[in-house]
Structure 1
Amino acid sequence: MTARERAAEVAGQVLDPEMPMLTLADLGVLRDVDVEHEAGGDEVIVASITPTYTGCPAMATMRDDLVHRLNDAGFPRVEVRVVLDPPWSSDWISERGRSALREAGLSAPGPAHRPDGPVALNLGPTRHAPPCPRCGSTATRVTSEFSGTACKALYRCTDCLEPFEHVKEI
């Protein structure tokens, strides 16, 4: 196994600090892991990550966790780069990640529907009915646009009456 493959394997196991049922790889935040060589021949592991949204407070913890895990795995030189283009999309969450969200009682996001051209402005209310992760019903309603983190909303199922968090489509 090459140094890049080993580093990618280690980085791919780092957990998201806000949703620890997901790895950074499953969340789609971990974009790339590479090995660069400095002039003296030293290897530097470079991990690239993208925030789920501008100002995400978990970015510093993600960076620190990546550095610590890679250092502990025997990689003394680690650099974490933040990549903003293209912006993160909830479409990047892996199928394993979506399953892990549902198993943890969270509603996984649907397709983000990002157009290639200009984004139409709609000031009217948007009806979104994510399925209840407990009973599967789409008879749900939003309780709060914000939940434990800014990237989740709080919903309630009107069939089973259970509250649940929904990871927003971005």
Structure 2
Amino acid sequence: MLTREEALAVLQGVPDPEVPVISVVELGVVRDVQVDGDCMTVIMTPTYSGCPAMREMEADVKAALLARGVPQVEVRTVLTPAWTTDWIGPEAREKLRRYGIAPPGRAEPQGFVTLTRARPAVACPFCGSADTQLQSEFGSTACKAIHTCRACGSPFDEFKAL
């Protein structure tokens, strides 16, 4: 049986299915691992309640631990506290930038998520310019927006702060 720390190390190798440059641990959706005899419980929080990748993440987490000899793996989904992009660490944010996705800024504490037309400029992950333009509030996934850089002409995704 793996220890909690060994299990977390295994899960560092499980990529986010929508942004495979970071792991589910780096994304912050893996909240904890608990070991009780032959059973390992992985506690996860989805990025948002309708995240279509959550079931795939759960299956990948189970498969990775079962492949390492854990006899029984359960995944428990918790919704409180709600996931926030603040759970993405600095190293993962840099991986996002190098991958071509503008990492999220700090999430503003608020009771509700509101969409407004006025947004702060997002720095281009390729050239660093803040001379960028929002093309679409929703990109390939609901957690991303599409921008273009006026300086270098590159289109890029932004991982929105939540």
**TM-score per shorter chain, which class?**
over 0.9
How far off its partner does 1:124 sit? 5.2
In the superposition, relative to structure 1, how do residues 3 and 57 fare at CA in structure 2: closer, same or farther (>3 Å)?
A: same
Shift of 1:2: 5.9
TM-score by length of 2: 0.93
Q: Return the alpha-carbon distance in structure 1 between the equivalents of residues 28 and 8 of structure 2.
A: 13
**Is 1:12–1:30's contact at 8 Å kept on the other side of the alignment?**
no
User: Displacement of 1:159 after TM fit?
Assistant: 1.4
CA distance in 1, matches of 2:115, 2:161: 18
Asked which structure has the greater CA Rg, the reply is 1
Alignment correspondent of 1:137? 129
Q: Could you tell me which residue of structure 2 aligns to residue 35 of structure 1? A: 35
Identity %: 44
In the alignment, structure 2 segments of 5+ residues that lack a partner are: none
Where do 1:1-170 residues align within 5 Å? 3-37=3-37, 43-115=38-110, 118=111, 125-170=117-162
Cα pair distance change 1:129/1:70, threshold 3 Å: same
- Shift of residue 10, structure 1, vs aligned partner: 1.0
The amino acid across from 1:105 in the alignment is: G
Cα 1:129–1:69, aligned 2, differ >3 Å: closer, same or farther? same
TM-score, normalisation: structure 1:
0.89
Unaligned stretches of 5+ residues in structure 1: 38-42
Counterpart Cα distance in 1 of 2:161 and 2:85: 6
- How many residue pairs get matched? 162
